[in-house]
């Protein structure tokens, strides 16, 4: 379903932005082993961060560039030598249209459910709860830091459980051992909030709970993403790396991603 794919990709992009939220001013580079999307496909992710610029490069897949300074996303297909771009405003418009379509489907489904026997209707409503966009009820997460610790990529990490309705929706392992990570936090937090505002239900609340994670996340597990960072290096990346390569042809974002996805979930997320 096209709308569902849109929401899945955007949800995972938010997770990437969460990993990027603490990049240092001089730049940061990290590598991850990742399984993302509903099918949890394996791939290696290389991420680059500079002030107001981010790039997520997946081996064998399209890469995505986030330009905060230009308020746009750029998707690049090196195999086809094509690219597509979408501004934050255009994505907001697209998600509003998707939300309106979901609302229409929900109203139609409610009318159909009203014709069912009470017991069957109640069962169907429970099965559908949260599946069609989260409804109008605000979703509230709790972030609980446990006492569990371990080591990832040479750094000591602490465990965080993100819960909703007594169910753990995400598990994060984060480190505070990487120093000097304050440069872009406010910029990325603002983008997270803007992206979250486009989305319904649980995804809308996601931007809030990410800000409660202390330090740099090195391992993430959720319904849409399993990711473990294997390498972190403080380094500067040339500005040219965050631009479209010369000679690449521009195409439509929807066409590039199979008729409906926004920029590839940035799982690095």
Look at residue 58 and tell me whether its pLDDT is greater than 60.
yes
* pLDDT confidence of residue 28: 84
Digit-coded pLDDT (tens) for 3-31:
444 444 455 555 555 544 444 446 889 99
Cα diameter, the chain: 64
Mean pLDDT of the chain: 75
Tell me if 132 sits within 8 A of 138, measured CB to CB: no
Look at residue 73 and tell me whether its pLDDT is greater than 80.
yes
Of 42 and 175, the structure prediction assigns the larger pLDDT to: 175
* pLDDT confidence of residue 187: 61
Sheet containing strand 53-58, strands side by side? 142-152, 155-164, 167-175, 216-222, 225-234, 28-36, 41-50, 53-58, 63-67, 72-77, 82-87, 249-250
Q: Which residues, at least 6 apart from 252, have a Cβ–Cβ distance to it below 8 Å?
A: 84
Look at residue 104 and tell me whether its pLDDT is greater than 60.
yes
Rounded average pLDDT over 218-247: 91
- Helix, coil or strand: residue 180: coil
For residue 124, how many C-alpha atoms fall within 13 Å in the half-sphere facing its CB?
14
Question: In this prediction, what percent of the chain has a pLDDT beyond 90?
Answer: 25
Under the banding of pLDDT at 50, 70 and 90, the label for residue 55 is very high
Of 34 and 209, the structure prediction assigns the larger pLDDT to: 34
Query: CATH number of the domain at 2-256, out of 1.20.210.10, 2.40.50.100, 3.40.30.10, 2.50.20.10?
Result: 2.50.20.10
For β-strands 225-234 and 28-36, DSSP reports them as antiparallel
Under the banding of pLDDT at 50, 70 and 90, the label for residue 178 is confident
Q: What is the pTM of this model?
A: 0.70
Of 262 and 31, the structure prediction assigns the larger pLDDT to: 31
Rounded average pLDDT over 146-175: 91
Rounded average pLDDT over 115-129: 69
Look at residue 202 and tell me whether its pLDDT is greater than 70.
no
């Amino acid at each position: 379903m096209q709308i569902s794919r849109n929401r899945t990709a955007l949800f995972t992009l938010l997770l990437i932005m969460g990993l990027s939220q603490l990049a240092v001013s001089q730049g940061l580079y990290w590598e991850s082993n990742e399984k993302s999307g509903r099918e949890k496909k394996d791939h290696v992710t290389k991420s680059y961060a500079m002030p107001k610029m981010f790039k997520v490069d997946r081996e064998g897949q399209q890469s995505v560039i986030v330009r905060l300074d230009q308020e746009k996303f750029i998707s690049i297909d090196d195999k086809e030598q094509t690219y597509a771009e979408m501004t934050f405003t255009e994505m907001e418009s697209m998600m509003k249209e998707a939300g309106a379509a979901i609302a229409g489907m929900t109203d139609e489904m409610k009318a159909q459910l009203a014709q069912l026997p009470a017991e069957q209707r109640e069962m169907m409503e429970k099965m559908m709860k949260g599946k069609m966009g989260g409804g109008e009820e605000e979703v509230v997460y709790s972030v609980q830091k446990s006492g569990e610790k371990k080591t990832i990529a040479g750094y000591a990490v602490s465990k965080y459980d993100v819960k909703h309705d007594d169910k753990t929706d995400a598990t994060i392992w984060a480190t505070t051992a990487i120093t000097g990570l304050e440069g872009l936090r406010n910029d990325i937090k603002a983008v997270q909030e803007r992206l979250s505002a486009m989305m319904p239900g649980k995804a809308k609340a996601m931007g809030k709970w990410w800000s409660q994670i202390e330090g740099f996340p090195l391992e993430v597990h959720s319904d849409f993403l399993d990711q473990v960072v294997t390498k972190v290096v403080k380094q500067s990346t040339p500005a040219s790396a965050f631009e479209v390569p010369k000679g690449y042809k521009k195409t439509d974002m929807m066409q590039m991603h199979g008729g409906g996805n926004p920029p590839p979930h940035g799982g690095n997320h």
